[in-house]
Amino acid sequence: MAATLIDKIWDSHVVGRRPDGRDLVYIDRHVLHELHAPHAFSKLAKAGRAVRRPDLTFSAVDHTPRSTPGRTDRNAKGEVIELLAAMREGSKRNGIRVFDLADAEHGISHVVAPEIGMVLPGSTHAVPDSHACTVGGLGALAFGCGTTELEHILATQCIAMEKPKRMRVRLEGKLGPWAAAKDIALKIISEIGVAGGRGHFIEFAGGAVRALPIEGRLTLCNLAIEMGSRTGLIAPDDATFQWIAGRPWAPQGAMWDRALATWRALSSDSDASFDRDIVIDCESLEPQITWGTDPGQAFGISGRAPDPASAPAERRAALERALDYMGIAPGEAIEGLAVHRVFIGSCTNARLPDLEIAADIARGRKVAEGVNALVVPGSAKVKRDAEAKGLDRVFRDAGFIWGEAACSMCAGANGDHGERGERILSTTNRNFENRQGPGARTHLVGPALAAAAAVTGKITDVRKLMGGAA
Amino acid sequence: MLAFTHLRGVAVPLIEDDVNTDQIAPVGLGPRLNQDYAELLFKRRRVKLDGSPDPGFVLNKPQFARPAILVSGRNFGCGSSRESAVWALVAVGIRCVVARVFADIYRENCLQNGVLPVCLAEADADRFDALVVADDGAGEFSVDLAAQTITGPGGERFVFEIPPMDKQRLLRGLDDIGMTLDQANEIAAYEARVAALAPWQQRADIAKL
Ligand code: SF4
């Protein structure tokens, strides 16, 4: 029978059916982080349960450490960050390897897992973090989960779940200059809404997806959760296989050939049917930016804020609140608004190509007076690679701060945050009220618009700054 | 897991769409191991944009000091997977959320913690929301999961649908992990099968094979 890629991976990972009717789906790789691991470890210990597969489980240190140059594992008071200490202790007790601050594999878990070859096409992956879906860019089925589900996976290496519906989002057309994966994602969310994919897993397909570099596919899948979908993925192709080949944990030699033969079957059958199938035209797509307080409140850089007065009555209050929070007048052009902070980082947009785009714009320019601009690589490897290419110099010469890999200002859990009323251009994934600090105003953008704002001090159409061609 | 059978108490109207986990329980600028989850609940919504307390925010009103049911709009709980956004509800006594639609991960986190997620039929939902707003914390609502009903202070009854699987999980407060561990043989058999068929899935350090 014709099957979608989602069905193929799901079905091949079903261990059995629970008495309550849910499937038990096997998890191939499980990565923890310090915000949730400590609670799960202590609940597990209390119940006297062991970790079933410590060899398939890893602990990442990403949410809490400072990203300032020369940082340690201490907080501002000089104490070891308590969540970090608790995760280290629990990991040690359970025989789980920690990718700690000084390790070559350190970084944001969603950046590290693909780059070391931990996540492979056709595999399942779980992280107690909603952006686990990032690694869907390699053709893996990834689940963000809560703390109790995390504990369940630790004890059983399975997740209990009912198979969701399948949705396909086909993206066609050639993007306009300076538009990339982030812009496609924001475009999708603005069309289908932040709950548009709820109850579904999404497969991204179409010419515009095929044309994306692997890092861009990771960016696109990263934002599946902002579409309301628990996960998103892209069928792997030769570009994927090439990208994975030779990574430290990837199969090699005869094992690689064997794996590759099975990976080649990882696509939706041409006659497979989806519960929902939509097409979005990305022809000449311009760089996108959010104007409001959810990722769906986005439009092209040439856009103007909506006018609540002309919106349907039931939407009016929400629009007014969003504009008020963001300090934007109804109908106001987004271009030209003064910017106080720029953050280039996070599991969305802090891989090497993201930093290269930003560096192209920063090169030979200066961060505008009064702008605080921070670049935080997504992993220690991205940082090493960027430094080998001299990107750190480009950024530092321009007046950016060049940080140490971590989530940093994405959620502010490490203490990096914006101030009340500050306008921030951020390459992250959530522009919710207060996300980047109480009262801070976040606009989500790709690295190009972020860098352009940093060097001009205002929201700027990068195409005008750099000329039309990317 | 906490079982859910009946609940009686005040229903809090927060009738907005897309109430996200950053609102429900912000991560904070320095998350701690032992949080006061009650204090975390809607922490930043409780203050105005200038940081001063907002007496207009519904959970700051005295009649909602001991809430039992939270009533919201579409896509409740979108955002992060962090379970503290459910623990914060439980910490103040909220064991039932009525919303038009729930975000997927959040809904699962509710079930894991004995919090009943209720979606009413669209027409009932409008009437129910209006009732909760008009009641303004004056009366008690009661929820009966076995009967799948919510009853308003004046006896108005609303019937809701819930998948039988979820209903059973809540009613019996089953230990999910214990249940899965009963199937350990199946898990072991799966592992053995895959180790032979696709060894790269069963070994993280496959490059060394
Ligand atoms: S970078 Fe942001 S979204 Fe990504 S894992 Fe870290 S906090 Fe979550």
The confidence score (pLDDT) of residue B207 equals 64
Give the pairing of strands B6-13 and B116-118: unpaired
| Residue spans of chain B under pLDDT 70 | 29-30, 206-209
Residue from the list A21, A164, A248 with its beta carbon closest to the beta carbon of B165: A21
Task: Single out the residue of A368, A351, A363 nearest to residue A446, CA to CA.
Answer: A351
Give the pairing of strands B141-144 and B6-13: antiparallel
The confidence score (pLDDT) of residue B206 equals 67
Q: Read off the pLDDT band of A114 (50, 70, 90).
A: very high
Asked, for residue B200, whether it belongs to a domain, the answer is no
Beta carbon pairs, A and B, within 8 Å = 200
The confidence score (pLDDT) of residue A56 equals 97
Calpha distance A176→A33 (Å, rounded): 37
> B51, A438: Cβ pair inside 8 Å?
yes
Say whether residue A422 is in contact with chain B using an 8 A CB cutoff: no
The confidence score (pLDDT) of residue A468 equals 58
The confidence score (pLDDT) of residue A470 equals 45
Q: Which CATH number characterizes residue B119's domain?
A: 3.20.19.10
Calpha distance A209→B153 (Å, rounded): 54
Q: Which residues of A186-196 are buried (b: 16+ CB within 10 A; e: fewer)?
A: bbbbbebbbbb
Asked, for residue B22, whether it belongs to a domain, the answer is yes
Q: What is the tens place of the pLDDT at every residue in A13-54? A: 999 999 888 999 999 999 999 999 999 999 999 999 999 999
Centre a 10 Å sphere on the Cβ of residue B204 and count the other Cβ atoms it contains: 20
Residue A62 CA: nearest ligand 1 atom is: 6
Burial of residue A247 (CB within 10 Å: 0-12, 13-18, 19+) is: middle
Q: What is the tens place of the pLDDT at every residue in A337-392? A: 999 999 999 999 999 999 999 999 999 999 999 999 999 999 999 999 999 999 99
**pLDDT exceeding 90 applies to what percent of chain A?**
92
Q: Read off the pLDDT band of A416 (50, 70, 90).
A: confident
| Right CATH for A165-281 from 1.10.150.20, 3.40.1060.10, 3.40.640.10, 3.50.50.60 | 3.40.1060.10
Average pLDDT over residues A52-73: 93
CATH architecture of A5-161: 2-Layer Sandwich (3.30)
Token pair in block for residue A204? 């991204």
Asked, for residue B1, whether it belongs to a domain, the answer is no
**Class (C level, CATH) for A289-465:** alpha beta
Probe site for chain B from A35, A36, A148, A429 (most B CB atoms < 10 A): A148
Q: Is A137 left (phi over 0), alpha (psi -120 to 50) or beta?
A: alpha
Asked, for residue B48, whether it belongs to a domain, the answer is yes
Asked, for residue B54, whether it belongs to a domain, the answer is yes
> Could you give the angle at which helices A181-192 and A214-222 cross, rounded to 10 degrees?
30
Residue from the list A56, A161, A420 with its beta carbon closest to the beta carbon of B204: A56
List helix spans (H) across chain B. Answer: 21-24, 37-40, 84-92, 104-112, 122-135, 164-172, 176-181, 184-197, 199-202
> A199, B16: Cβ pair inside 8 Å?
no
Say whether residue A230 is in contact with chain B using an 8 A CB cutoff: yes
- Ligand 1 centroid, distance to A430 Cα (angstroms): 9
The confidence score (pLDDT) of residue B209 equals 52
**Which of residues A316 and B49 earns the better pLDDT score?**
A316
Q: Closest-CA residue in chain A for B175?
A: A152
Calpha distance A107→B93 (Å, rounded): 38
- Ligand 1 centroid, distance to A132 Cα (angstroms): 9
- Where do you find CATH 3.30.499.10 in chain A? 5-161, 289-465
Total domains, chain B: 1
> B201, A47: Cβ pair inside 8 Å?
no
Weakest mean pLDDT among A310-314, A348-352, A391-395: A310-314
Domain that holds residue B145: 6-172
Residues B180 and A155 sit within 8 Å (Cβ to Cβ):
yes
pLDDT at A469 over 80: no
Q: Which residues of A15-30 are buried (b: 16+ CB within 10 A; e: fewer)?
A: bbebebebbbbbbbbb
Q: Closest-CA residue in chain B for A408?
A: B29
Residues A126 and A26 sit within 8 Å (Cβ to Cβ):
no
> A228, B17: Cβ pair inside 8 Å?
no
Average pLDDT over residues A405-428: 92
